[in-house]
Amino acid sequence: MAFWNDFVKSELIDIVEWLEDGGSTLVHRFERHDNEIKNGAQLVVRPGQAAVFVNEGQLADVFQPGTYTLATANLPVLSTLRGWKYGFDSPFKAEVYFVSTRQFTDQKWGTRNPIMTRDAEFGPVRLRAFGSFAYRVGEPGKFICEIVGTNGTFTTDGIADQLRNLVVTRFSDAVGEGKIPVLDLAGNYDEMGTRLAAKVGPEFAAYGIELTKLLVENVSLPEEVERALDKRSSMGVIGNLGAYTQFQAAQALEEAAKNPGGTAAGGIGMGMGFAMANQLGSALGQNAGAGSQNAPAGPPPLPGAAPAFWIALNGQQSGPHAADALRRHVESGGLTRDTLVWRDGMAAWTPAAQVPELASLFPATPPPLPQ
């Protein structure tokens, strides 16, 4: 009879465990009729789990991975709450919550609306950003009390929005405090992620959650600003606009030569060819003239403008001087009738009085008095 009683008693011992489904479940409540657990039941907590015992709304015990026999010696807090000073043989009531403590990775975050910030180069700009983060339940008891409550099953969806909102809000502060130029943001994603994690980590910890990783994957500008930057970059790549125009004209001439059909196309090609030949001839002529005079060639004077002259001052050539400068030299006595001058087109240095363009600068000399 004693053997039969021991056999029945052993068959009634519970096994309290939770086999995770590998999904997004954070907390699972162990279901038991009337929450009764027999004395001597076996508690199995697998790696990546924690078991939280709650009695009448109060946190009793938290068990880390391992196998436990649920007896008075292993339930000190629960025994104190229930007042079992001399042990117990009857079933006891307690709610058991299994909490997944593994990492939940690839949790996405992103700004729903652009963030307004001030850039030193572009002024006020709007930024969008997105990235990912990973977390785990670091304090199962606090997580149960602060977030889960009495929910029988709690998944990542139940807290995902709250965590994302915290990250996005603190990202705005991190960008404003960092004062990183817009064009340098791509090279500072790691620094931004570190600064952001330092701000968000303590707020996650208040819920019993540990932030294990936070990544800033992209920060982008609005489409219209990106188009403006593309145009600016294109201008920088083109560089010399005149050389680029000549290159485009040469390409158009080559395409016209490949298409012999049509007089209009041929005429356009010939016209562009003559225009390019004139430009090339002018450039070569200016360079040749400059080489013969050992002086840099300048652009031709504006229509109607007086030519600029070089003058000999104190044995040194000075210039070129426009009309106003020449007039000041005449008033100061530096330029006289006998001063040698030269301009583009003259064969040699000539006294100023013998140059028709400068004759008006000198007052007329009256003839000698009659005898």
Same domain, 161 and 70: no
Q: By C-alpha distance, which of 298, 125, 301, 353 is closest to 219?
A: 125
The segments of the chain whose pLDDT lies below 50 read 1-12, 84-88, 262-266, 283-285, 287-296
Cα Rg for the chain, rounded, in angstroms?
46
> Is-cis flag, bond preceding 296, omega within 30?
no
The answer as to whether 269 is a domain residue is: yes
Helix (H, G, I), strand (E, B) or coil at 336: coil
Same domain, 87 and 70: yes
pLDDT recorded at residue 312: 86
pLDDT recorded at residue 90: 53
At 331, which helix (H) or strand (E)?
helix 323-332
Domain that holds residue 65: 2-100
Which of 100, 122, 139 terminates a domain? The answer is 100
Which of 198, 224, 250 terminates a domain? The answer is 224
* CA–CA gap between residue 349 and residue 339 (Å, rounded): 9
Which of 100, 131, 161 terminates a domain? The answer is 100
pLDDT recorded at residue 289: 46
Q: By C-alpha distance, which of 64, 58, 150 is closest to 101?
A: 64
Cα torsion 349, 355, 357, 360: sign: positive
C-alpha dihedral over 88, 95, 17, 29, to 10 degrees? 170
Same domain, 109 and 220: yes
* CA–CA gap between residue 147 and residue 214 (Å, rounded): 22
The answer as to whether 169 is a domain residue is: yes
* CA–CA gap between residue 102 and residue 284 (Å, rounded): 77
The answer as to whether 298 is a domain residue is: no
Determine the length of the chain.
371
* CA–CA gap between residue 167 and residue 146 (Å, rounded): 19
The answer as to whether 233 is a domain residue is: no
The answer as to whether 297 is a domain residue is: no
